[in-house]
Structure 1
Amino acid sequence: MTNNVESWTLLSLALAVIIVRVGVRWKLVGLRNFQLDDYLMPLAGIVFVAETVAAYLVVADYGGLTNSYMTDEERAALDPDSTEWADRVAGSKIQVVGWSLYVTILWLVKFSLTVFYSRLTTGLQGLATRVRIAWIILGVTYVATELSLLLSCQPFHAFWQINPNPGIVCQATHSPVYVLVVVILNVLTDVYLLSIPLPLLWKVNINLKRKIPLMALFSGAAFVVAAGIIRAVTISTAGMDGAAAGSKWACRETFVSIVVSNLPIIQPLIRKAFKKIGLSQLFSSSGKQSGQTYPLSSRGLTNMTGNRDAKKSKASSAAPHTMQVSAWGSDEHILAEPDSSSKDITVISETFVRSEVWAGEPETSVQKTTSSTPPKEWSSRFSAHQ
């Protein structure tokens, strides 16, 4: 009973986080400007409901029984017309369904994060390419994982076969194919997604007090990796309780995945909460600059060579190129990677700084800046508005 209460509680909290995320996005960009990730995350919530129901049925209706953890003698002695036989068959079928739902949720969340990162890295050299590679990796690994789950046991009905022994690969509760393939591909894809924002945040020229919350905000996948590994170990060592333990940890991992992946989206509310308790500096967009020049992206850089007239000509053509910059509380933002390789570069940029109003906060004034000094190091903060 305790396990069931926990599963339904985690589901409720996850759905609440998704609802908050939708509300934040609706307020900031409007329903018409919703992007693909704004639909993928609610879809993940719907699949989470189905996964929780499946986990509940395995424990509550079928006593956690499957075609696993039985000796050949026990299989031969079990009456095909008995309630235990029927429960083991039904429990085994739900295990196959539950594994598929579990994988689908995790990859929906990964795809949602990839869409989010694609907006943040618009115009940044290298990072946009990593995001495109992420789409390929996620597509291939999802198909590979699902095919491994569904095709590892042949004929398919052997997944719920009781007697004779169908073999360990047909025992979905603790099949090595299920456990190893899922945990390995899940961990590898999460690590790759972490490699997109974290190196960028580590290199930016901001003080450590602001850098740590930013990195924590985008490193939630580390908790998902830990939960996935714990689940695999638990299934492999739980013995007769493997079905119940696996279902319980699937719900836990799904919950963690949904919550941490939505934290960067709902950060305006997080910032507001920190402000109320006197910790607004952790998420403050104000503060002294480091003395460096901040171009918006590689598209805003103009390589100036030749005589002075040529520089003025190129500067006049580059000046109209503008991008919007916004602080915490805006739609999305990112801190661009410093580029120390550029030496003979002059920046001529026209920047409009704007921040959406959030819950009564004063709107940031508009300012225009122009720089013509070759900087030693580059970094930027900009908003990828839809």
Structure 2
Amino acid sequence: MASSALIETWSLYAVGSVIILSRMFVRWRMIGFRGFKPDDYIIVLSWATYTVMTVAAHIVGGLGDLHALTLEQRKNLTDEEAASYIYGTQWFCAGVATYVLFIWTLKFNMLFLYQRVVRGLWVEKFIKPVMVMLGVTLVAIFLILFCACRPYSRMWVVYPDQGSICKPQSVLNMIPALVMNIITDVCIMAIPAPVVLPLQTTIWKRVGLLVLFGAGLFIMIAAILRVTMVLVEKNGATAAIWSCREDFVAIVVGQAILIRPMFSSNFWSGNYGSHNKGYKSSGPSKNSANLGASFEMGAKRSKKDPFSVTAALASVNGDGDSTEDIINHSSGRNFHTIYVESAERRDRNYERI
């Protein structure tokens, strides 16, 4: 009989996989494989590591790991029992490494999406520095994981004890990773905040935005709880469940905007995205004709990536509302001007290609 923890683990994996596959399907239908961007490939790596991590959780949950035993218990293990625990510990180490890789690939996935979503806005300049930060922190975490205990095989030595550093749930392995995880999460959430928070829209859509940002906070809280349960409460099983929950919410937060088109009738009729059919001007503007021409030009190009600034922000506000209506104009420049300028740059690049 499967335990409740095992059922929850695989249930979260199944739903998370459906969300990732749906995201890939939406992107394929809207822009085709030739139009894929870096985040469309990174999500495949995320899914692969998510799968390995879930398998690791299943195996460790069934076999256990050496470091959950006392030294006396490890000393008295038979060869067969020791082999089982060694195998479980090896998968535990694999689970820790794939957990880090999974979370960081989702972070990169989000930043590459931001490059399209906020293109032409002032917050765009923060994306590349945060990407560099992600790369540095990922390398630092893996150096700690695989270089602190040398040789690495000491992680699964049964007896004698190899010391506090040679176990996957050591303070050295968990605290630096937690700190870098939270710092990078805060930086990533801060990039779109100045653009998204001033949106003027309905109460329900504001609630939706709050839920998305609240989910980001949940991810950070879950990461803290996971480390606390391992280091303070010595409760690895509960920590593993919170890790699975954190991973699932991270998938939802990162892919929500990309699977939203599936819930539009225009998506299934093949008319979603390129026209922005529901766009309407909030009033006369000398840029309106240029904006309309830009949309028309985009419609003539087959399967052009719809996740520009206008498309992404309008998807939050709804198909029937003007993006100009939902942007706070107190920042100075008219959003039409920003969008047209960025569209012209994309058009020139397109012609060069």
Is TM more than 0.5 here? yes
Determine helix, strand or coil for the equivalent of 2:161.
Answer: coil
Determine helix, strand or coil for the equivalent of 2:67.
Answer: coil
Q: Give the aligned residue type for 2:29.
A: K
Question: What does residue 255 of structure 1 align with?
Answer: 248
Same amino acid, percent of matched pairs: 27
Instruction: Give the C-alpha shift of residue 68 in structure 1.
Output: 3.9
Question: What does residue 91 of structure 1 align with?
Answer: 88
Runs of 5+ unmatched residues, structure 1 = 273-283, 297-318, 337-353, 356-360
Q: Give the aligned residue type for 1:267.
A: R
Instruction: Give the C-alpha shift of residue 249 in structure 1.
Output: 2.8
Whole-angstrom distance in 1 between the partners of 2:240 and 2:88 = 11
Question: What does residue 300 of structure 1 align with?
Answer: none
Instruction: Give the C-alpha shift of residue 149 in structure 1.
Output: 1.0
Question: What does residue 268 of structure 1 align with?
Answer: 261
Match of 2:189 among 189, 194, 204: 194
Q: Give the aligned residue type for 2:28.
A: W
Instruction: Give the C-alpha shift of residue 50 in structure 1.
Output: 0.9
Determine helix, strand or coil for the equivalent of 1:122.
Answer: coil
Asked if residue 144 in structure 1 is aligned to residue 140 in structure 2, the reply is yes
For the 8 Å contact 1:7–1:251, the answer to whether it is kept is yes
Whole-angstrom distance in 1 between the partners of 2:38 and 2:286 = 30
Provide closer, same or farther for how the CA distance between residues 377 and 101 of structure 1 changes in structure 2, counting only shifts above 3 A. same
Whole-angstrom distance in 1 between the partners of 2:183 and 2:210 = 19
Q: Give the aligned residue type for 2:218.
A: F
Whole-angstrom distance in 1 between the partners of 2:160 and 2:207 = 56
Q: Deviations over 1:245-283 (max 9, x none)?
A: 3433332222221121101112223567xxxxxxxxxxx
Question: What does residue 46 of structure 2 align with?
Answer: 44
Question: What does residue 131 of structure 1 align with?
Answer: 127
Determine helix, strand or coil for the equivalent of 1:170.
Answer: coil
Determine helix, strand or coil for the equivalent of 2:134.
Answer: helix
Higher RCO structure (Cα 8 Å, ≥6 apart):
2
Provide closer, same or farther for how the CA distance between residues 222 and 271 of structure 1 changes in structure 2, counting only shifts above 3 A. farther
Q: Deviations over 1:7-55 (max 9, x none)?
A: 1111111110011111221222222211111111122112111111111
Provide closer, same or farther for how the CA distance between residues 12 and 210 of structure 1 changes in structure 2, counting only shifts above 3 A. closer
Whole-angstrom distance in 2 between the partners of 1:33 and 1:285 = 24
Equivalences for residues 157-306 of structure 1 within 5 A: 157-172=153-168, 174-204=169-199, 210-214=205-209, 216-217=211-212, 220-239=215-234, 241-242=235-236, 244-269=237-262, 289=282
Q: Give the aligned residue type for 1:167.
A: G
Question: 85-94 or 217-226: which moved more?
Answer: 217-226
Whole-angstrom distance in 1 between the partners of 2:294 and 2:208 = 26
Q: Give the aligned residue type for 1:380.
A: F
For the 8 Å contact 1:138–1:189, the answer to whether it is kept is yes
Larger helix percent: 2
For the 8 Å contact 1:109–1:261, the answer to whether it is kept is yes
- Structure showing greater Rg: 1
Equivalences for residues 370-385 of structure 1 within 5 A: 377-380=332-335, 382=339
Determine helix, strand or coil for the equivalent of 1:263.
Answer: helix
Question: What does residue 15 of structure 2 align with?
Answer: 13
Asked if residue 331 in structure 1 is aligned to residue 306 in structure 2, the reply is yes
Provide closer, same or farther for how the CA distance between residues 205 and 380 of structure 1 changes in structure 2, counting only shifts above 3 A. farther
TM-score (norm 1): 0.69
Whole-angstrom distance in 2 between the partners of 1:28 and 1:220 = 27
Provide closer, same or farther for how the CA distance between residues 228 and 295 of structure 1 changes in structure 2, counting only shifts above 3 A. farther
Instruction: Give the C-alpha shift of residue 145 in structure 1.
Output: 0.9
Whole-angstrom distance in 2 between the partners of 1:294 and 1:176 = 61
Provide closer, same or farther for how the CA distance between residues 83 and 376 of structure 1 changes in structure 2, counting only shifts above 3 A. closer
TM-score (norm 2): 0.75
Q: Deviations over 1:224-245 (max 9, x none)?
A: 2122112112222443x52x33
Whole-angstrom distance in 1 between the partners of 2:18 and 2:176 = 31
Provide closer, same or farther for how the CA distance between residues 292 and 54 of structure 1 changes in structure 2, counting only shifts above 3 A. farther
Question: What does residue 113 of structure 1 align with?
Answer: 110
Whole-angstrom distance in 1 between the partners of 2:68 and 2:106 = 30
Provide closer, same or farther for how the CA distance between residues 270 and 149 of structure 1 changes in structure 2, counting only shifts above 3 A. farther
Structure 1 segments, 4+ long, off by >4 Å, are 204-212, 284-289, 291-296, 322-326, 374-377, 381-386
Q: Give the aligned residue type for 1:144.
A: A
Q: Give the aligned residue type for 1:45.
A: W
